[in-house]
Amino acid sequence: MRIGHGYDIHRLVPGRPLVLGGVRFETDYGLEGHSDADCLTHAICDALLGAAGLPDIGHFFPNTDPAYRSIDSQILLARVVSELRTRGWAPVNIDSTLIAEKPRILPRLAEMKLALSRSTGLPVEDIGVKATTNEGVDEIGRGLAIAAHAVALLKRL
């Protein structure tokens, strides 16, 4: 067994689509970034890669590469899982925490788990997604950014 940890944060800006855990929110603001900027999915990718002792997603999918412009991060996550499989690793479970002052995450959690389940091949019950606010503290608390933490466990195929 191998454990990995991932963290990501993106700024909230007007006029960008908001995608978290593969789920699109109907907001007039979204996360800034080269891809769809889905910080939850990026944190999960980094946890999986870290558990396998591999470099982070920036190494595999550089934000200077036009191929990844506005890309759906679920595609990146599926590629990370297949990258692990070629190296003899399979995910066992994932847990994650989103830190967001807005929007309300709870009503969309089940959809996020389903999207992440599709991308990783893991059963929904092996994927944890929790959400908390930052209690008004710092830039996340003022709604200027959304951050995510994730851990992932891998087993040998």
Q: Shortest Cβ distance from residue 152 to Mg ion (Å)?
A: 16
As a whole number of Å, the end-to-end CA separation of the chain is 10
Binding mask 3-32 for Mg ion (x = CB under 5 A): -----x------------------------
Please give the structure tokens belonging to residue 149.
């933490």
Query: Could you say whether residue 42 binds Mg ion (CB under 5 A)?
Result: yes
CA-based nearest residue to 44, from 14, 89, 74, 82: 74
In the numeric block, the tokens 């891998």 are attached to: 154
> Which is closer to Mg ion, CB of 8 or CB of 101?
8
What number of chain residues touch Mg ion (CB under 5 A)?
2
> Which is closer to Mg ion, CB of 20 or CB of 51?
20
CA-based nearest residue to 6, from 106, 152, 155, 156: 152
How many helices and strands in the chain, by DSSP H and E? 5, 7
Q: Shortest Cβ distance from residue 53 to Mg ion (Å)?
A: 20
Region binding Mg ion by CB under 5 A among candidate stretches 34-42, 75-83, 87-95, 104-112: 34-42
Region binding Mg ion by CB under 5 A among candidate stretches 12-20, 21-29, 40-48, 72-80: 40-48
> Which is closer to Mg ion, CB of 25 or CB of 90?
25
Cα dist. 141→18, 59, 122, 149 in Å? 17, 30, 32, 16
The site for Mg ion (CB under 5 A) is made up of: 8, 42
